[in-house]
Amino acid sequence: MKNHHQFTAPVIALAISATFSLTAYAQDDAEYRIRELENKVQQLIQQRVEQDKQIDILTKELVGIGNQVSQAKVAKSEEKGSSKGNPIYGGFKDGLTFEDGTGNWKLQLNGRVQADYRNFSPDDWKADTFSIRRARLGGTFSFLKDFAVRVEGEYANTNDGSKGTTALTYGYLDYTRWSGAKIRVGQFKPFFGLERAQSTNFTDFAELSLTTNNGSIFNSTYDRGLMVYGDPLPWLNYNAYVVNGTGQNNDDVKDSKDIGARINANFAKFTDNKKLVLHAGTSASKGSIDFSSSTKSIKQATEGNGVEFFNVGSIINTSSTTDRSRFGVESAVAYGPVKLQAEYIKANFEGRQGTGLDNAFNNDIKTWYADINWLVTGESYADAYKSGVFGRINPKTNFDDKTGWGAFELGLRYSKFDASDFNSILASQTVNTSEADAWTAGAKWIFNPNARLVLNYVQTNFDDEILVNGKHDDKEQAVNLRAQYDF
């Protein structure tokens, strides 16, 4: 027992000693780690101070650069007068546009090319041809928010300008302060009827109908004068004008003027249907056809832009005038992808062929058309209707090399021309016939809002056989193919 106690005591002493040693070691290690963390914190604080100094230096440099830029802008502004140094923004939407950030000015460039191929039967009447129907370039400059100037030139001249010579189409100044009473002065298109009020970029067929194309009813598309127009109500549109009546690029040689007006309404605005158009309108004008040129005749060509089948010759003499008054009604019903459209126009001509009273005449020309069009791909005509006309069709998907095919449209039109009142005058003239009608079948591929391909077949039937280039026939057949791009 004595030996056992002697062995136990040293062991206990050794254990106590080891315990105190471990405790002291743990305390030393904790203190060391605390000192390490304190050193790291001090290092981070010093780094942050250095970073703050760098940020302060960079900030001062940025301020200096900003002051230099401001001084440069001031100098540039002084060099350019009233310029505020705003950036100029460019974009493309129905034309190439440029404008500044103030909204004080905007420049929109527009152009179009209509490249045609025409095939006619009988072949003896008119040659098949490749043709540039229209090639135009121009622009509209809006300034001071209420003013706009438009100038456009025609480079594909065969009618109003000589070949190879640019002719002015639009050249006018607009004042647009009031949406219900805008003012236009210069050379422009006087709006009469529905087809003629539309841009030729967006007509249903390649050419206008016998009712509204250039000929006996309308001798010229453009004229010079003054017009007031606008949308006084969301569903109402109108225009009233006073023009020379002498046509495109001609000043007047007489005191009398052509006075006319058009008013139309879209009654679909009284419904909640956004896909519906219920258009009705009327137009009237009164003036004379005493042109400044030597060609003072009443004549008409076919709807396919082919042979001239009606011409009463030079019925005007220098000692008298031929008064012309026109009246027309128009209508259109569109629901979704289907549109029905029709017009009737009567023109009265009063004058005399010579100096004697026995040669006096008071005759009418009556014309009308009706057509139906269907957007096979489902676009809505209501989306293209604004201010009394139908405009640009935007396909649901543009044509590309993946899945888009653009929009497809099919159409059929019938038009009638009746100048039988002139038969007594025609008996003594070298003329063809006074009555005709035409059927036009059309297909249109709209690749995107700006590009399209149009194919039309037109058959014009004459009341009497006509003689052209030694060939008699009672009808003309024409195929018109048009590739068009506009912006």
DSSP 216-232: TTBS-S-EEEEEEEEEE
Q: What is the mean pLDDT of residues 42-52?
A: 81
Tell me, what's the pLDDT at 314?
58
Q: What is the mean pLDDT of residues 273-288?
A: 96
Tell me, what's the pLDDT at 160?
47
Q: Does residue 316 surpass a pLDDT of 70?
A: no
Predicted TM-score of the model (pTM): 0.78
Q: Does residue 204 surpass a pLDDT of 90?
A: yes
Tell me, what's the pLDDT at 219?
83
Q: Does residue 149 surpass a pLDDT of 70?
A: yes
Q: Give bridge partners of residue 386 from the DSSP assignment.
A: 389
Classified as helix, coil or strand, 371 is strand
Classified as helix, coil or strand, 174 is strand
Tell me, what's the pLDDT at 200?
93
Q: What percent of the chain is predicted at pLDDT more than 70?
A: 83
Q: What is the mean pLDDT of residues 432-457?
A: 95
Q: What is the mean pLDDT of the chain?
A: 85
Task: Give me 99's structure tokens.
Answer: 């404008």
Q: Does residue 271 surpass a pLDDT of 80?
A: yes
**In whole angstroms, what is the distance from residue 192 CA to residue 329 CA?**
10
Q: Tokens 């010093």 label which residue?
A: 46
Q: Does residue 148 surpass a pLDDT of 60?
A: yes
Q: Tokens 């007047």 label which residue?
A: 252
Tell me, what's the pLDDT at 54?
82
Classified as helix, coil or strand, 134 is strand
Q: Label residue 259 by pLDDT band (50, 70, 90).
A: very high
Task: Give me 186's structure tokens.
Answer: 């210069």
pLDDT digits (tens, 9 = 90+) for 457-483: 999 999 988 888 888 889 999 999 999
Angle, CA of 94, 97 and 98, to the nearest 5°: 170
Residue 211: CA count within 13 A, CB half-sphere? 28
Task: Give me 424's structure tokens.
Answer: 């007594």
Task: Give me 390's structure tokens.
Answer: 């139908």
Q: Does residue 76 surpass a pLDDT of 80?
A: no
Its sign, for the CA torsion 122, 123, 124, 125, is positive
Contacts of 409 (CB under 8 A, 6+ apart): 373, 374, 375, 376, 393, 442, 443, 444, 446
Q: Does residue 71 surpass a pLDDT of 90?
A: no
